[in-house]
Structure 1
């Protein structure tokens, strides 16, 4: 790495990584991911990283401007990211219940996983009510393309691929390609 590259890394990446570590508030974190981009960890729950977890990609959109956000909101919330997972720039995950990402998963730019509705859907309880939450499970060797959103209660089966821009609202079986809004199976692998 030449001098200019080292200065750029320090000024535009390393300082931001430190900033988001300082802004993080989750105290129940296990494991240490490899950070190529800032990561903010929030909530009162448990966040667990396996071995060889990569956060951010240098040669990808949003490298200098995005950060990854992972929140296990309540004391009972849990996010588990197993070994050899690569999370591209701008990834976010918010759990009220549980989000599990198994081994060897590849996740594209600006992907979002949320195991809840965000707010209670009843009109009189949106601000103060508790949102519905159902566990999300992403099995081994799944590939989520760029700008994919995975919603509550979804299970994505082994080896499946989710196309760019998809919104996954229902379970996806093993060994398929699915895409669209809502995501539908396009073909088998």
Structure 2
């Protein structure tokens, strides 16, 4: 009985609450939710088949949520088939963010396709900051605590090591790690 109550109060209720708090209305597809998911913005967010959000036996299961924001009406987040996203993931798209099929994403990863604010101090609170699309190719594995910045393409089958900050493109079949991430060897 206790397990069912725990699941209701600490999982099912939170999943419902974040669904209710979501304001993005241009959603297609239905991910499997094991973790709360907040969908924000005026753009489009699409999920392929067999997308999993959250992992039960992983850090931050009871305390965090997944955040996806397609900020503007022409912004888009596209998540392919068979993608598994661990707890505490966030992605913000001002232009476009694509995650192709069979991608694994670790705990506390973040992807942002923009600068967040204008870099010029006199314009910091005005207008849209610069953005550039992010593209994650199929069968990529992102370790825990990986951050990916605007304009990055990660090639097919690449592995990004824990704690990496990806600021430049990573070729296919490469293992990259560090801050900033650099290719350390090929598969």
Q: TM-score range by the shorter chain?
A: over 0.9
Q: Paired residue for 1:170, among 164, 168, 173?
A: 168
Please report how far the alpha carbon of residue 7 of structure 1 lies from its aligned counterpart in structure 2 after TM superposition.
1.2
TM-fit CA distance, 1:130: 1.7
The partner residue of 2:97 within 99, 107, 126 is: 99
| Shift, 1:178, TM fit | 0.2
Q: What is aligned with 2:78?
A: 80
Match of 1:128 among 115, 122, 126: 126
Partners of 1:120 and 1:87 in 2: CA distance: 30
Aligned to 1:114: 112
Runs of 4 or more consecutive aligned structure 1 residues displaced over 2 Å after TM superposition: none
Q: Distance in 1 between matches of 2:127 and 2:45?
A: 25
Cα distance in 1 for partners of 2:186, 2:100 equals 21
Equivalent position of 2:7 in the other structure: 9
Q: Distance in 2 between matches of 1:109 and 1:166?
A: 13
Deviations 1:25-46 (A, max 9, x none): 0000000100000000000000
Listed as ranges, the gaps of 5+ residues in structure 2 are none
**What TM-score, normalized by structure 2, do the two folds share?**
0.99
CA RMSD of aligned residues (A): 0.5
> Cα deviation per residue 1:4-52 (whole Å; 9 max; x = unaligned)?
2211110100000011001000000000100000000000000000000
- In structure 2, the residue corresponding to 1:184 is in which secondary structure? strand
Alpha-carbon distance between aligned partners in 2 of 1:157 and 1:4, rounded to the nearest angstrom: 45
State TM-score, norm by structure 1.
0.98
Distance apart, 1:128 and its partner CA = 1.2
What SS class does the counterpart of residue 18 from structure 1 fall into? Answer: helix
The superposition leaves residues 76-113 of structure 1 with CA deviations (integer Å, 9 ceiling, x where unpaired) of 00000000000000000000000000000000000000
Aligned residue among 121, 138, 163 for 2:136: 138
